[in-house]
Amino acid sequence: MKPTESKKPEATTKPTPPAREERKPDAQEPETLNYAELDLSIEKVDERIAPSETNVFDK
Partner 1 sequence: MTPNSSFPITLVFPPQGHFTQPYLALPCLKAYLRANGFDDVELVDASVDAYDRFLSRDELARAARLVAERLPLARYANRTELSFRELAAFRAAAESAASAEALIARVDDAKAVIRGTRFWDMEQYVPAVRTLYHALRLFSAAHFPTMLTPHNFTMRYSIDRSRDVLAATLDEAENPFVRYFREYVLPGLVARKPRVLGMSVIYGSQLIPAMTLGRMIKRALPDCHVTAGGGYLAYIGQKLMQRPGVEECLDSLIFHEGEAPLLALCNALESGASLADVGALTWIDRSSGAPRAVVNRPGMPIRLDAAPLPDFEGLPLDEYFSPELVLPYDVNRGCYYGECSFCTLPTVIGPGYRTRRAKTIVEHVVQLKERHGARAFDFITDCMPPGMIRELPNELLRRDADIRWWSDARIEAEAYTEEGTRRLYASGCRKLLFGFETATPRLLDMMKKGQTVDETLAVAKHCARAGISVTFYAMVGFPTETRDEARATVDFLVKNANVIREVSLQTFHIDEVAETYQHPERFGLTIVDDPDLDIELYHDYVAETGMTQTEAAELFEEMMSRLCANLPLFSGDNIFYFMQKSHYFLHLARDMQPDEFVARCKERVDRRAKLGADATLAPSRDLRVVELPFSHTETRTKLAHPLARAIQPDFLTGRYVENRVAEAERALGTIAPKRKALAYDGDSAEFAELALDGKRVLEAIAKRGTLGSLLEGQSGASRAALERFGGELHRLGLLHLPHARTTTSTRSPSAAATTTL
Interaction of residue 50 with partner 1, rule CB under 8 A: yes
Nearest approach, Cβ of 4 to partner 1 (angstroms)? 9
Q: Which residues touch 43 (CB under 8 Å, ≥6 apart)?
A: 3
Interaction of residue 1 with partner 1, rule CB under 8 A: yes
Give the whole-angstrom CA distance, residue 5 versus residue 49. 25
Give the whole-angstrom CA distance, residue 20 versus residue 58. 58
Interaction of residue 14 with partner 1, rule CB under 8 A: yes
Chain residues binding partner 1 by CB under 8 A are: 1, 3, 6, 8, 10-15, 18, 22, 24-26, 30-31, 33-56, 58-59
